[in-house]
Chains A and B, each alone.
Chain A
Amino acid sequence: MKYSYYPGCSLEATGVEYNLSTRAVAGALGMELVELSGWICCGSSSAHAINRDLALGLAAHNIALAQEQGGRDLVVPCSACYTRLSRADYQMRHDPGERVRAERLAGFSYTGQVRIYSFLEIVKDRVGYAEVTRAVRRPLAGLKVACYYGCLLVRPPEVRPFDRAEDPASLDELAAALGAEPVPWCYKTTCCGAGLSLTRPEVVGKLVARILSAAREAGAGALVTACPLCQNNLEMRRPADEDIPVFYFTELMGLALGLGEVSGWLKKHLVDPFPLLHRLSLAG
Chain B
Amino acid sequence: MATATLYLPAGKVTVDAAFREEVARLSGQPLELCFQCQKCASGCYPTREGDYTPNEIMRLIQYGAREAVLKSRTIWLCTSCETCGLRCPNGIRMAEVMDILKQMAVARGIVPDGEISPLFHNLFLNEIRSTGRVQETMLMLKYRLKTGGLLADAKLGWQLFRRGKLPLVPRLRKDPAVRRIFELAGGRG
Contact = CB atoms under 8 A, between A and B. Distances in A.
B185 A43 contact: no
A14 B166 contact: yes
Contacts, number: 162
Interface of A: 9-10, 12-16, 38-41, 43-54, 57-58, 61, 104-107, 151-152, 155-157, 165-166, 189-191, 193-196, 198-201, 203, 206-207, 210, 236, 267-270
B85 A156 contact: yes
A193 B82 CA distance: 12
A90 to B, nearest CB: 13
A57 B185 contact: yes
Contacts of A40: 128, 132-133, 175, 177-178
Contacts of B83: 151, 155, 189-191
B181 A51 contact: no
19 contacts: A13-B135, A13-B165, A13-B167, A15-B165, A40-B177, A41-B134, A43-B128, A50-B102, A51-B189, A52-B99, A54-B185, A54-B189, A104-B184, A155-B82, A155-B85, A191-B81, A191-B83, A194-B80, A196-B77
Contacts of A53: 184-185, 187-188
B79 A45 contact: yes
A268 B163 contact: yes
A10 B140 CA distance: 12
Interface in B141-189: 143, 153, 156, 159-160, 163-167, 175, 177-178, 180-182, 184-185, 187-189
A30 to B, nearest CB: 28
Given A14-B166, A46-B120, A48-B80, A105 B185 contact: yes
Interface string B116-136: 111011101101100011111
B167 A236 contact: no
Interface in B92-130: 93, 99, 102-103, 106, 116-118, 120-122, 124-125, 127-128
Candidate in B121, B132, B181 with the most chain A CB atoms within 10 angstroms: B181
Contacts of B35: none
Interface of B is mostly: helix
A156 B82 contact: yes
A105 B181 contact: yes
B41 interface: no
